[in-house]
Structure 1
């Protein structure tokens, strides 16, 4: 800001959306992105909002920016690029120089087996160094990476392999989760057997367990690396600013998963900017986000760390195993400066008490990041006041796979409110529209973006029409993100749930997060989810599912407790917002990174088709929810 002549953040933000060409030009210059061929024009918008062309005629390869340029800096060259640890506290670390060598060897080996520019390669791997090496080696070759969530079932993996036409599949023999071995190779085999496009499967044997083997298709990672005959590193493949880097698949309410296309000059630059400028990730810092490479925050951590010359700390395991101090121990051991969590994880850890985090010296932590779902105040305050001792800002961060990072965040130059956001990130022309499509200064409405940004999805893979229909069909020349947000009189923003989740009870709109926040304030409730179902009188009424603590399960009859919770919500939100019914559930359907999938709950409860549920870690719980709903609806 000061370099560009600004002292006031709000004035700087206004200019960042007032002239987006100027802003993103300044960003790539200040980030020192190395272009193989300079661009002649920052933005060509002749095809409209949905299809911007950034950095016209420019060429780059993001592996050059993420790895090779740091070899010229003696301090960063010998600094760790990756620190990895699993549940057994085993792992390995790689300096930037060592990472470059590993990427070179893999890229050379892949080239020898026929992988090149434009080929698709899926990565179904745990969070280990080889996963990062594979992402970067594919980028170096100009091949297209498809990161796939490590907890998926074979049919879900097969859908992504088939839709992308993947030629290569990376996998591992297995990984540890809560002390148990989870085998990956048999699942990968079943998926690959359904896809004729998969010619080669590269397997990392990290656990050394017995796995099935196909001599015609399977290659051990170690064997593949040894086949590399080129000792001299090859040059990176020059990529134009419109050529794909990776496909990130995300689920919709209906239909097949959407393959979101991201380019070399899109996703990495947006992720690097958000991490470096929005979260203050500096050269030499250590960034750890509890995620999976198949979720957006996995590639975000990779490029957010490496484009800023920082270290990524990979943790492959459960953050509360074998004891609830596992996360805090990880932060202390590796001197993590930036730690990314989900509100659900913090709610779980908060219930375990303060003694666990108090065992550890967390003085290295400078920023705590949060993504995936809305907060409620009690766990936010516990994290800020008890864990962080009132000194560590919580950067609430919300955007998505299609965004390459965040729309809303907590800028570190402004005051932060519990559970909220203090505004949009620079360059993100965000607004709130009411039901008529009119901008509102305060109140609740639809989160929209009014101009393109660097990192914006470059469409869906082989499905341009579905892409424009999904994001640009509701309001003219406007990106509709699908979140309900509220802005209060002080200028703070709050996510109130997905816009297709929002309740409309007798004409009154209510974000599900508000009712869920009221419920989890009750000592008996560990977690809660709220859905809306049709009602003859009110149009729609709320139904809640709650996970009850063990202590309350043993001390009170369930029906008695459910009635108590109904009155509790009524007192908190008013009689008109009282749920029709509250059900006790053993668990809620979630993705591995802790996001509760309300649309799946609603569909199961109403006996409808839930659509794509491939991201659910526990889809079997939907059968129980169907039984809860059948006598009620």
Structure 2
């Protein structure tokens, strides 16, 4: 349970909604007021944006947690649009073709090596139909689980939609994960089919994948087939093969009929299972259902990104991450948007690759992670190279964790020309779609604040007893009015769902996000990071994210991670791990450390000065860009790391440990 969190930094910069956006925005202040007056009517209206085969008879039911006579707690249950039937894939593809928009580009794909492919909505309908027919031939039907272990390529999108089209359940796995991570998801879901590739491209190199996929299914009693996409071809020629089990994508899918008549399924039919990172325990398989999820995904994408027919939208997230499920797959496609899909890393073959892609396709909406923004800021402190034309951009967005105000300003001034709003979104795998985010034509922006809950939703910041904290004081961020995209349960473990998200505030019926936040005097929300990342130093509860923001505001620092480490005097002390923009600064380590401690003291206060500052090459992060601060603490204290399968680069913790040991040794000699 959470007591108050000390919040010391202030930010008074404000950026009102641009007048031209206020006049043309999809959502107005009047829309927000109507949603607040009648949230259920609002969600009904949002649902009518989709095509329903059978109308729903009950918009929403909610059974909160109750205490049984024996003192145990019941499991909560919610339903949205009960009785309604629809086909999720048909809403994302077929209805646009039926409306005469088949020639509209759905996806501009660019591979890491520069290969390109464009799919219209008519193309996508044919490809998804072929894949749906092929999956049916492989024995996949309603409710069967399919694990998809692919890079960011069109086949990943096609496979995902095909699984949804036949009402099987998909679980996407990041292509860089280990065989063990894939095996866990296969075993947990009892998947019948694994879809993978011969290999994938990583930083310009072809890397074999099929052997890892084989290792993942080697002991699986449930897997019947492995469907293999040829991606790297002759660059990874030795593809291990199990006859009778393994099937080439081009043999099964490309030869199938391109006509498929969709069936319609109940709104509460499971759509996908999204696994949490699992850094402190077994990953949780969050179950999202069809109707409610698609309603909120579609509406929120249209509202917060102010989607127009002329837009070219780009969400840079890997397709296996929940952000891409909602804001690369189901949100954009349900809205008939044109989007960009890029396979590779942002610095391959040069650090300006994203700027090059924005210019090539005329990207108007660029939605990315604070991690990438900070990296670009470090490499291009004066802005993107002048030879890249970024004038097409009209909206920017951030996702993954809170963005530091200094990075926000760099993004706004140098990528957004000082005129493009930044849609700073707060949400989680569990919520399924954005909960707190600006509305481009309504919201006044403040660097570092996600602003306010979106229409139909509500959040609050409370203490351990559920009492609202005063403005400017940090507490636990809870969702007291959830939306239809909320995960319904944890796959195979409803009690874990209850205990993880509802037990803390079961009497109030609130969803506990696990994040800390502060609401300022204007009513805007500032997310302070995970409550687990709040560090108690000499009786003061300090937000790691706030201290990191202070460090990143120093011109030498590109990125920073804060962790609480053991201390014999204070119990816990602050350790800062910083990435610097100029490698030469490492040579003057002691002077830089002193300057950074003084900078934090000036920005926040002496209590927030890190006791230890370590200069590192990179921080341990998930593929979605979240810094794993708990890993930093374990590295610094020499404790076992636990599950690291969610790491983007599993070698980083050991590299950091070596850097810490070297710097401790150097400090002892100074």
Quick check: TM above 0.5? yes
Task: Output the CA distance in 2 between the equivalents of 1:147 and 1:285.
Answer: 27
Against the structure 1 CA distance between its residues 245 and 172, is the aligned structure 2 distance closer, same or farther, given a 3 Å change threshold? same
The DSSP-based 3-state class of the residue aligned with 1:450 is strand
Q: Between Structure 1 and Structure 2, how many residues are aligned?
A: 621
Task: Output the CA distance in 2 between the equivalents of 1:539 and 1:24.
Answer: 48
1:67 maps to 2:93: yes
Equivalent of 2:248, from 212, 220, 236? 220
Give the superposition deviation at 1:626. Answer: 4.9
- Aligned pairs (5 A) from 1:284-303: 284-300=310-326, 301-303=328-330
1:463 maps to 2:489: no
- Hey, what does 2:633 align to over in structure 1? 602
Deviates more, 1:207-216 or 1:144-153: 207-216
Residues 52-93 of structure 1, C-alpha deviation per residue, up to 9 Å, x if partnerless? 11111111111121111111222x211111110012221211
- Hey, what does 1:314 align to over in structure 2? 341
For the 8 Å contact 2:294–2:485, the answer to whether it is kept is yes
- Hey, what does 2:536 align to over in structure 1? 504
- Hey, what does 1:486 align to over in structure 2? 518
Give the superposition deviation at 1:214. Answer: 2.0
Task: Output the CA distance in 1 between the equivalents of 2:396 and 2:513.
Answer: 25
- Hey, what does 1:52 align to over in structure 2? 78
The DSSP-based 3-state class of the residue aligned with 2:420 is coil
Q: What's the TM-score, normalizing by structure 1?
A: 0.93
1:448 maps to 2:455: no
1:533 maps to 2:565: yes
For the 8 Å contact 1:484–1:498, the answer to whether it is kept is yes
- Hey, what does 2:412 align to over in structure 1? 384
1:43 maps to 2:60: yes
For the 8 Å contact 1:290–1:593, the answer to whether it is kept is no
Against the structure 1 CA distance between its residues 429 and 392, is the aligned structure 2 distance closer, same or farther, given a 3 Å change threshold? same
1:118 maps to 2:143: yes
For the 8 Å contact 2:40–2:456, the answer to whether it is kept is no
- Hey, what does 2:444 align to over in structure 1? 415
Against the structure 1 CA distance between its residues 536 and 352, is the aligned structure 2 distance closer, same or farther, given a 3 Å change threshold? closer
Give the superposition deviation at 1:118. Answer: 0.8
- Hey, what does 1:428 align to over in structure 2? 457
Task: Output the CA distance in 1 between the equivalents of 2:656 and 2:359.
Answer: 40
Task: Output the CA distance in 2 between the equivalents of 1:306 and 1:618.
Answer: 31
Consecutive unaligned residues in structure 2, runs of 5 or more: 1-21, 66-74, 666-670
For the 8 Å contact 2:130–2:260, the answer to whether it is kept is no
Against the structure 1 CA distance between its residues 238 and 8, is the aligned structure 2 distance closer, same or farther, given a 3 Å change threshold? closer
Against the structure 1 CA distance between its residues 91 and 185, is the aligned structure 2 distance closer, same or farther, given a 3 Å change threshold? farther
For the 8 Å contact 2:27–2:303, the answer to whether it is kept is no
Residues 577-632 of structure 1, C-alpha deviation per residue, up to 9 Å, x if partnerless? 22111112232111123221112222333344444321102233323455677989
Equivalent of 2:575, from 522, 531, 543? 543
Against the structure 1 CA distance between its residues 336 and 482, is the aligned structure 2 distance closer, same or farther, given a 3 Å change threshold? same
- Hey, what does 2:299 align to over in structure 1? 273
Task: Output the CA distance in 1 between the equivalents of 2:512 and 2:412.
Answer: 32
Equivalent of 1:171, from 171, 181, 196? 196
The DSSP-based 3-state class of the residue aligned with 1:108 is helix
Task: Output the CA distance in 2 between the equivalents of 1:96 and 1:336.
Answer: 18
For the 8 Å contact 2:501–2:512, the answer to whether it is kept is yes
Give the superposition deviation at 1:326. Answer: 1.0
For the 8 Å contact 2:566–2:637, the answer to whether it is kept is no
Consecutive unaligned residues in structure 1, runs of 5 or more: none
Deviates more, 1:433-442 or 1:218-227: 433-442
Supply the RMSD in Å over aligned alpha carbons: 2.2
Question: Larger relative contact order (C-alpha < 8 A, sep ≥ 6)?
Answer: 2
Residues 519-540 of structure 1, C-alpha deviation per residue, up to 9 Å, x if partnerless? 1222332221001234454443
